[in-house]
Structure 1
């Protein structure tokens, strides 16, 4: 039976991985015959909603004014346009949760959808998310039959919940115990669910890995994007630069014998005038070019979780500098699933394991197929 599914995830702004994981989970659920939409809003008061609408009108008016006016917000908007274009073209979105700020609104929300799915990404990390809302508090406070509540590959980002306040921990415990099924992305998440909340959880792949490399190459082809922008290059996909990481990137590029190519711009425009004078310096790649770059690189050096995910998915040799500030537990769990722990780099390139240059992709792909089948079975059973 086809069900109406609402996917609750984090806001889709500048994070390539966050955008693609939302797309992939929606697509995977639709491929199972259900109707799925993505909701990244939070329940807000009527007053805040009116203020938001007023701000949106003001912004629209300003966009019609001459481009020579140097507004920082306008430069940022144009820099992010390729990513937001992907969101508009490929994701079905709703702002249903944002409007559920009354008892009647919450009841209407619960009637509109049969199943609510929380995931993926770091939706259960207090530093990034509104914790009661991300445990579906919005559909608690009304009387009547409640829709199914499940999570898929929800991530705490860390191996603890020390970022939670006592109130958040207590409320999260109440809410998660009402879920029909709990799926987390990291092994450490299983322990957190058991020890902190007293619930059973399963570990599953990030939703981006539910789709095949061929599917993503199809997105690239339909967008008429160059499928090999990083061929013959060592692709550097870096979120946070450190001196040690920069030294390691240079050493790896020399060892691979392929010059380094930066995937992201290294600067942000200070004004619209600065941006307009040199757009190529500041523009971010489209989602399709981002995918094609990883898929075509000779070697990938990254500190991004999804940079690591897509290196594995596209069978590209890689090393990853686990970004502790953004959550290191994610990397350990992902690499452990595929037996690729040696691809985690230290501060220097000197100690890099030679196996990173010739991965056993046959083994990796067999594990991927088995994990994908297990994840699909979970969704079939619990949606």
Structure 2
């Protein structure tokens, strides 16, 4: 039976991984025969929504002005334009949750969808998400027959919930116990659900890995993006520079014998004239270019979780610096699933494990196929 499914996730702004995981989960659910929509909002009172609409009208007017006259405001929109085109083209987004701030609004939301899926990414990390809204509090307050509620590869980002307040812990435990099924992305998430909330959880792959490499290559081909922009290069996908990471980048490039290519551009300048003189230097590449770059690189050095995910998916040799500030537990669990723990960089660039240069991709792909089948079975059984 086909269902109307609402995916509840984090805002789709500058994060390539966040955008692609939402796309992938939507596509995976649609491939099962359901109608899936992505919603990143939280309930907002009518008064605030009216204010938002007024500001939206002001933004529309400002967008008519030349960028040079209002550069400080226009800069993010200019720089992120290629990323946002992917969202508009490939994701069916909804603002249904935003309007569910009254009993009538919650009833309308609950009747509109047959199932709600929370995931993926760090949707259950208090530093990044609204807790307890990410546990579907909005439909818990609706009095009537509720739609199905599940999570898929929801992540706490870390191996504890110390960022939660006492009130958030109690309310989250109350809400998650009413889920029909709970899926988390990390092994540590299974323990958190058991010890903190008293519920059983399963671990599943990040949704980006539910789709095949050929699916992503087809996206690149349809967009007209060059299929191999990083061929012959050591690709650097760095979110936060550290001395250890910079040393590792130099060591890897020298060992591989391939010049480096940085995937993320320079931060945009405060001067429009400087930006206009060399837009390519500052504009964020499209999602398709991001995918093609990882797929074609000779070697990938990254501190990004999804940079690590796609290196595995595309079978590219890689080294990852687990980004402690952004959540290191994610890397340990991901690498452990595939037996690739040695791809995590140590404190020194001198202790590189030679196995990072020639991974056993056949073994990795066998695990990937089995994990993908198990994840699909979970979605089939619970939607």
Q: TM-score, normalised by structure 2?
A: 0.99
| 1:351-370 alignment, distance < 5 Å | 351-370=351-370
Structure 2: give runs of 5+ residues left out of the alignment.
Answer: none
Aligned residue number for residue 177 of structure 2: 177
2 CA distance for matches of 1:316 and 1:67? 39
Aligned residue number for residue 312 of structure 1: 312
1 CA distance for matches of 2:118 and 2:65? 40
1 CA distance for matches of 2:375 and 2:272? 45
1:120–1:155 Cα contact (<8 Å) kept? yes
Structure 1: give runs of 5+ residues left out of the alignment.
Answer: none
2 CA distance for matches of 1:117 and 1:338? 26
2:110–2:142 Cα contact (<8 Å) kept? no
1 CA distance for matches of 2:120 and 2:227? 27
1:226–1:292 Cα contact (<8 Å) kept? yes
2:117–2:151 Cα contact (<8 Å) kept? yes
How far did residue 274 of structure 1 move? 2.8
1:19 paired with 2:9, answer no
Report the secondary structure of 1:301's partner residue. Answer: strand
Report the secondary structure of 2:23's partner residue. Answer: helix
Q: TM-score, normalised by structure 1?
A: 0.99
Aligned residue number for residue 289 of structure 1: 289
2 CA distance for matches of 1:112 and 1:335? 39
1:91 paired with 2:91, answer yes
Q: Could you report, residue by residue, the CA deviation over 1:72-105 in whole angstroms, capped at 9, with x for unpaired residues?
A: 1211101101010000000001000001011000
2 CA distance for matches of 1:24 and 1:73? 31
The two structures, once aligned, show a CA RMSD in angstroms of: 0.8
Give aligned pairs, total: 383
Report the secondary structure of 2:93's partner residue. Answer: coil
How far did residue 141 of structure 1 move? 1.2
Q: Could you report, residue by residue, the CA deviation over 1:194-221 in whole angstroms, capped at 9, with x for unpaired residues?
A: 0000000000000000000000000000
1:74–1:272 Cα contact (<8 Å) kept? no
Aligned residue number for residue 101 of structure 1: 101
1:37–1:93 Cα contact (<8 Å) kept? yes
2:26–2:38 Cα contact (<8 Å) kept? yes
| 1:1-383 alignment, distance < 5 Å | 1-383=1-383
How far did residue 280 of structure 1 move? 1.5
How far did residue 328 of structure 1 move? 0.2
